[in-house]
């Protein structure tokens, strides 16, 4: 079983890292080969049995994952329907996520038409209903609506070490997303009865009860997450505290909580069943108490997972508990490792995309660490000292065992996590969560009292967590290790956690040295330029051997998210970078300055240059105004502002004041233009035409029709032009006429909505290009093409 599970894991992981799916005949052949190998195993001697099981697992894992993916990807939105008004009839299939400008929800489509004929679209789409479009009604799971929407194919941002939104949509079965249009929407049914919608309506009712009992309470979102797994109402600042203290895994319906509820009900039923509920019957003679307890634990876990909306992580825990319950009912004599392997197989069978997410590796990794560190090695004894010793041993084993994996996944680890978890686990699991669960089912006013007590307990815990999170050494951040360094550290960790008597166990720490001594990489000469796939906005990181500058900070996506927190910070953390020497904010438009506050709060920043008005909230003591003629040099690289002039002042519109920065490495140069338009281009030609020559040009104003004039392009004469634009953006950038101008001059166009993030190495020897789309996955919409016909302008 263990060899088969590990082989299946390897086959699944291999498939999920491929750029293209296997052909249908090949995936079916692999399934047949795996099945044949399983049959053959029974005839083999033990010498070859393990190897054949691994081969069978690899074949079955790859073939099964490919078949599942082909079935999921077969449902797609036709390209000709993107951006068109479609009349949809369907059911609200999720708990809506409400925010300042509207709400987002999953819509289960029953029928669709384009106004003249029926059309086929994916059955499950993600929609936004924005207040700017029309007064958004209160959506409730189970409602049937008829509405008009515009859809587009799944398209996520593609950045190194960034969140893969397209993989998440694929995992959730969402094959299109869009927004509700202005046309009047019609509520057809207030509630459509089904098991799914009954669960959704119950979750809606519970959320309303919590919000009414805890109006304006800081941690009401955490209580909602603990009761029903919906984390979307938790403030970003609170998430930062939870992550810095390493207790983020507790702030949801986690595997720990589901297992705790299952164990509680299982133990209660076991006790009552053994005593026949004290009614004088002989229930254990009819059914053993342990089997009744297994069913009770599984059913209670099922109910709790239903509260979580059957989220993927909760489903994973439920499947693991189901395997354990089946083992009890089948009287299977499985070791702990065999039970874990069985659970692994079942999880991968139901969800082959689980390997893409950290929760999968951390949950199975934690259990594996516990089994390895405690198998026959815990001392006996009773009383609080033995319990404390056992708990400490367990916590340290899991913390040390998961450290290499945590660094590989997040490039940082909480050093205060053992202390924080030692307090938070019993408080949240034994006090806050039970109080919250009891509170939501009690009648008023008992409901309010129980929820307020849960919130008060959580608030007291948060005070201690805030103090811990503020400690200078709360987080250990290093560059994300490569696979070889991680495997070496895993071997060292296993050596460290080996049983007593193992020779020089402390030597396992030596395998951690490559992780501990790693430092952020930097170019040896010249510069590195990274143009992020940031959506409709600008953000570029420039690095020399000893200097890092960020040009623009990306757009503001919503009140709780921006390009700084969603794209730039994850990238910097994966590189182990916690300081920027300078940030240049070209101008005040939100697609350029929107991520600045997140970056300034999270990083040590040397100085800031911008054309922001003097009263702008980002202005502080580190700020200087960018003015033409300012120049400085680092590591042989020359930086110079060419625009704006002092005389431009604060009277012109923000685009016209964009800080235009030229960066020169010997005879090679980069020109970053912000959102300058034709008048500013003419002014630059008039006063600094001889300074405009550059090999790489950031296309002015994202390729708008009011920029990139022929004369300006002739003066710059770039070899490469970078267009940072959003997919199907509402401005239709870049404009077709502008794209044609670049093509006429033989300039290579790199669009972030097609290439993803772009990395350039520029030194006296030349320019080396790397695009994120060069390493796609089979679900990726962004693919590199040697000769991309960038003739079509962006579309809404």
Please tell me the predicted confidence (pLDDT) of residue 394: 76
Residues 103-159: tens digit of each pLDDT? 999 999 999 999 889 999 999 999 999 875 456 788 999 999 999 999 999 999 999
Residues 435-450: tens digit of each pLDDT? 999 999 899 899 999 9
Please tell me the predicted confidence (pLDDT) of residue 233: 86
Q: Residues with Cβ < 8 Å from 661, sequence gap 6 or more?
A: 551, 584, 626, 639, 640, 641, 642, 671, 672
Please tell me the predicted confidence (pLDDT) of residue 789: 38
Please report which confidence band the pLDDT of residue 284 belongs to, taking 50, 70 and 90 as the band edges. Answer: confident
Residues 162-171: tens digit of each pLDDT? 999 999 999 9
% of residues, the chain, pLDDT over 90? 63
Please tell me the predicted confidence (pLDDT) of residue 38: 86
Contact (CB, 8 A) for 742 and 708: yes
Per DSSP, helices labelled H in 525-643 are 563, 569-574, 590-593, 596-602
Please tell me the predicted confidence (pLDDT) of residue 387: 67
Please tell me the predicted confidence (pLDDT) of residue 332: 77
- Provide the b/e sequence for 231-246 (b: ≥16 CB within 10 Å): bebbeeebbebbbbbb
% of residues, the chain, pLDDT over 70? 95
What does the radius of gyration of the chain's CA atoms come to, in whole angstroms? 29
Name the nearest CA neighbour of 548 among 673, 618, 672, 635: 635
- Higher pLDDT: 227 or 385? It is 227
Contact (CB, 8 A) for 367 and 336: no
Q: Can you tell me which residue has the tokens 């032009």?
A: 721
Main-chain dihedrals φ then ψ at residue 12, nearest 5 degrees = -65, -45
Residues 580-620: tens digit of each pLDDT? 999 999 999 999 999 999 999 999 999 999 999 988 999 99
Please tell me the predicted confidence (pLDDT) of residue 390: 72
**Does the pTM exceed 0.85?**
yes
Least-confidence region, from 250-259, 471-480, 625-634, 780-789:
780-789
Residues 540-583: tens digit of each pLDDT? 999 999 999 999 999 999 888 899 999 999 999 999 999 999 99
- Higher pLDDT: 538 or 372? It is 538
Residues 202-241: tens digit of each pLDDT? 999 999 999 999 998 999 999 999 888 888 888 888 999 9
Please tell me the predicted confidence (pLDDT) of residue 785: 64
Please report which confidence band the pLDDT of residue 793 belongs to, taking 50, 70 and 90 as the band edges. Answer: very low
As to burial, measured by CB atoms within 10 angstroms (0-12 exposed, 13-18 middle, 19+ buried), residue 555 is buried
């Amino acid at each position: 079983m263990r060899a088969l599970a590990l082989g299946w894991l390897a086959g699944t992981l291999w498939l999920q890292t491929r750029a293209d799916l296997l052909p249908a005949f090949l995936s079916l052949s692999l399934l047949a080969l795996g099945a044949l190998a399983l049959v053959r195993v029974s005839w083999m001697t033990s010498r070859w049995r393990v190897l054949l099981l691994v081969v069978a697992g690899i074949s079955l894992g790859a073939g099964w994952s490919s078949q599942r993916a082909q079935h999921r990807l077969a449902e797609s939105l036709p390209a000709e329907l993107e951006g068109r008004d479609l009349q949809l009839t369907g059911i609200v299939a999720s708990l809506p996520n409400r925010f300042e400008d509207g709400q987002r929800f999953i819509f289960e489509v029953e029928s669709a038409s384009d106004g003249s004929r029926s059309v086929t679209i994916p059955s499950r789409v993600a929609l936004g209903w924005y207040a700017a479009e029309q007064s958004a009604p209160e959506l409730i799971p189970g409602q049937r609506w008829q509405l008009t929407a515009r859809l587009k194919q799944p398209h996520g941002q593609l950045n190194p070490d960034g969140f893969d939104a397209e993989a998440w949509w694929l995992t959730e079965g969402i094959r299109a997303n869009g927004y509700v249009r202005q046309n009047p929407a019609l509520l057809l049914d207030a509630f459509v009865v089904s098991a799914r919608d009954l669960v959704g309506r119950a979750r809606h009712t519970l959320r309303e009860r919590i919000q009414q009992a805890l109006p304006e309470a800081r941690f009401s979102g955490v209580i909602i997450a603990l009761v029903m797994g919906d984390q979307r109402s938790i403030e970003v600042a609170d998430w930062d505290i939870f992550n810095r203290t390493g207790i983020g895994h507790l702030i949801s319906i986690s595997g720990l909580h589901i297992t705790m509820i299952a164990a509680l009900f299982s133990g209660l039923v076991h006790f009552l069943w053994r005593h026949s509920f004290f009614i004088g019957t002989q229930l254990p003679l009819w059914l053993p108490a342990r089997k009744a307890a297994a069913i009770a634990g599984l059913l209670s876990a099922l109910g709790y997972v239903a509260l979580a909306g059957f989220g993927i992580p909760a489903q994973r825990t439920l499947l693991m508990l189901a395997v354990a319950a089946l083992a009890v009912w089948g009287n299977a004599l499985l070791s702990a490792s065999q039970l874990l392997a069985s659970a692994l197989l079942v999880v991968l069978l139901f969800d082959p995309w689980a390997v893409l997410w950290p929760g999968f590796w951390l949950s199975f990794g934690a259990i594996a660490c516990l089994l390895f560190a405690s198998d026959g090695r815990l001392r006996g004894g009773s009383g609080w000292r033995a319990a404390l010793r056992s708990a400490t041993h367990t916590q340290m084993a899991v913390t040390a065992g998961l450290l290499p994996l945590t660094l590989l996944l997040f490039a940082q680890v909480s050093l205060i996590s053992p202390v924080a978890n030692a307090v938070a686990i019993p408080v949240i699991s034994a006090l806050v969560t039970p109080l919250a669960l009891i509170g939501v089912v009690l009648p008023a006013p008992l409901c309010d009292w129980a929820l307020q007590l849960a919130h008060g307990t959580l608030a007291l815990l948060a005070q201690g967590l805030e103090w811990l999170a503020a400690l200078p050494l709360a987080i250990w951040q290093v560059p994300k290790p490569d696979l070889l360094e991680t495997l070496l550290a895993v071997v060292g960790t296993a050596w460290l956690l080996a049983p007593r008597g193992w020779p020089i166990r402390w030597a396992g720490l030596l395998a951690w040295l490559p992780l501990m001594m790693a430092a952020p990489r930097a170019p040896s000469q010249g510069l590195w330029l990274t143009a992020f796939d940031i959506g409709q906005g600008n953000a570029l990181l420039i690095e020399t051997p000893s200097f890092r500058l960020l040009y623009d900070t990306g757009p503001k996506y919503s009140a709780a998210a921006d390009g700084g927190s969603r794209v730039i910070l994850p990238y910097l953390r994966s590189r182990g970078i916690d300081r920027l020497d300078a940030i240049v904010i070209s101008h005040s438009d939100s697609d350029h300055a929107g991520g600045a506050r997140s970056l300034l709060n999270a990083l040590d920043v040397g100085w800031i240059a911008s054309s922001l008005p003097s009263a702008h909230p980002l202005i502080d003591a580190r700020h200087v105004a960018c003015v033409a003629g300012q120049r400085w040099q680092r590591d042989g690289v020359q930086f110079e502002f060419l625009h704006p002039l002092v005389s431009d002042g604060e009277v012109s519109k923000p685009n016209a004041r964009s800080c235009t920065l030229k960066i020169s490495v010997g005879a090679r140069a980069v020109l970053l233009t912000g959102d300058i338009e034709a008048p500013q281009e003419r002014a630059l030609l008039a006063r600094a035409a001889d300074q405009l020559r550059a090999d790489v040009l950031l296309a002015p104003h994202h390729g708008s029709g009011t920029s990139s004039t022929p004369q300006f392009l002739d003066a710059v004469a770039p070899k490469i032009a970078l267009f940072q634009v959003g997919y199907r953006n509402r401005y239709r950038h870049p404009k077709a006429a502008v794209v044609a101008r670049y093509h006429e001059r033989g300039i290579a166009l790199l669009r972030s909505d097609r290439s993803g993030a772009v990395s350039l190495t520029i030194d006296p020897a030349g320019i080396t290009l790397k695009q994120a789309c060069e390493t796609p996955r089979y679900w990726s919409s962004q693919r590199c093409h040697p000769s991309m016909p960038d003739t079509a302008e962006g579309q809404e």
